[in-house]
Structure 1
Amino acid sequence: MLDITTSKARRWILATALSGALITGCSNGGGEGGDAKPRVTPAVEPKPLAEGALHPLLLTQADLGSGYVQVQGQPGEGNFDDIAVQGCPALEKLGQSGAKNMFAAKAETSFTYNTDATLGEELHSDRPSVLSSKLRELFGAYTSCPTYTMTSGTTPIEVKVSKSATPELGDERFAYTSTMELPSGAQVLKTMAVRKGNVAVMLVGAPALVDRHIKTAVGKLPAGS
């Protein structure tokens, strides 16, 4: 049985919600979340930032305020090979695509809030056109099916997905909310990504936490990115 109160389960939930970026590739699934109009037009695109340049841009406890504790290790740490999806062709294809969706550089962190809520962050960097294309494919796949079944080992988990509104931030933004019917009860998570030039920030966790901190996360990105 999956117990969401354990730290292992919290990491698993974060990794699952971000599985397109953490452990799988992308698909050709349609659909977009939020304001996703193409805005990548420069003749010469900025190069990706290095991983070392991304780490200082991550959220910290000082950025978030009291009640947050940084989780040791990475949100995607561990073996998630036994996670599978049924009932959503775009996500099933995404899971078969391997590492081709990985961006040029990535940095990540995660936090617990008052011990019973989570907030995970990923920063990705690549050429703006690459970030734009892959984020569209990723969020398109995740919002292509209103319901699907996910399994972790032999545990089936029913998932409902709906597109979510996004604030006017960055060059492009995408968001969806997923409700996972876990044995311990329903778990609602929001996933939001904002691209600003050659860097994209992605937050996943309790909807209120994502909404509260996305502006701060985007505000840490370089002005010229």
Structure 2
Amino acid sequence: MRISTGTRRWMLAAALCGGLITGCSSGSGGGDSDEKAQARPATDSKPLAQGALRPLLLTQADLGTGYLQVQEKPGTDKFGDVSVQGCPSLEKLGQRGDEMMFASKAETSFTYDTKATLGEELHSDRPSVLSSKLSELFGAYTACPTYTMTAGDTPIEVKIAKSATPKLGDEQFAYTSTMELPSGAQVLKTMAVRKGNVAVMLVGAPALVDRHIEAAVGKVPAGR
């Protein structure tokens, strides 16, 4: 199954070094948990524009010493040749493509101590849209405990495990992805928190995601 352009970022962010981030860091994933403080949106406010999201992104000042922001070259397509096999839910998701994207997005990424990495995406849409699409996306990723992702000619075995989430925002989603790479097993953690009409997503070394998710969510004002 070939992954459409609109879904590649989610795929790589979830399970492949070089998605939102520039590399991977070894680590251990969090424990499985089906207990999430899910809240149905009481209001359906309009999405924020990209310009309103950018000031809400994490900065080097927020993260502390040892972090370096990654400057990406404009027009670089890191997702052009990615496919996945062995997971019907992801295959179905891939066929839907751009309809799974949100109204607006802002992003940034960092390296830590030149080894570990942390990427952040902020998405905005109506709360009901964020809620339904995040549930569908994370449900698809956690539906298959294992699958194979191919980047170019390189097959990568991926193992997925649900992760516990902190009690932040209105809804929380998280899982860890373990990639069996030639250099050894590498682990990424993907966590998303919806706060009103903004979704905060961190992807990277599990320890860094856990360390900074509260600060990332805290930059989104209440009542959005």
Q: TM-score range by the shorter chain?
A: 0.7 to 0.9
Distance (whole Å) between structure 1 residues aligned to residue 34 and residue 81 of structure 2: 28
Residue pair 2:70, 2:108 contacting (<8 A) in 1 also: yes
Q: Would you identify which runs of 4 or more consecutive aligned residues in structure 1 move more than 4 Å?
A: 12-15, 74-77
- Among all aligned residue pairs of Structure 1 and Structure 2, give the percentage whose two residues are the same amino acid: 74
Q: What are the ranges of 5 or more consecutive residues in structure 1 without an aligned counterpart?
A: 1-11, 24-31
Distance 1:188 1:99, change over 3 A: same
Partner residue in 2 for 1:187: 186
Cα-Cα RMSD: 2.4
1:183-204 Cα distance to aligned partner (Å, 9 max, x none): 1111100000000000000000
Q: What are the ranges of 5 or more consecutive residues in structure 2 without an aligned counterpart?
A: 1-7, 21-32
Following superposition, the deviation at residue 75 of structure 1 comes to: 11
TM-score (normalizing by structure 1): 0.84
Q: What letter matches 1:177 in structure 2?
A: T
TM-score (normalizing by structure 2): 0.84
Query: In the TM superposition, what are the counterparts of 1:83-162 in structure 2 within 5 Å?
Result: 83-162=82-161
Larger relative contact order (CA 8 Å, sep ≥ 6)? 2
Distance (whole Å) between structure 1 residues aligned to residue 177 and residue 168 of structure 2: 22
Distance (whole Å) between structure 2 residues aligned to residue 75 and residue 224 of structure 1: 34
Distance (whole Å) between structure 2 residues aligned to residue 178 and residue 105 of structure 1: 26
Q: What letter matches 1:16 in structure 2?
A: L
Partner residue in 1 for 2:36: 35
Following superposition, the deviation at residue 69 of structure 1 comes to: 0.4
Distance (whole Å) between structure 2 residues aligned to residue 189 and residue 62 of structure 1: 23
Number of residue-to-residue matches in the alignment:
202
Residue pair 2:37, 2:167 contacting (<8 A) in 1 also: no
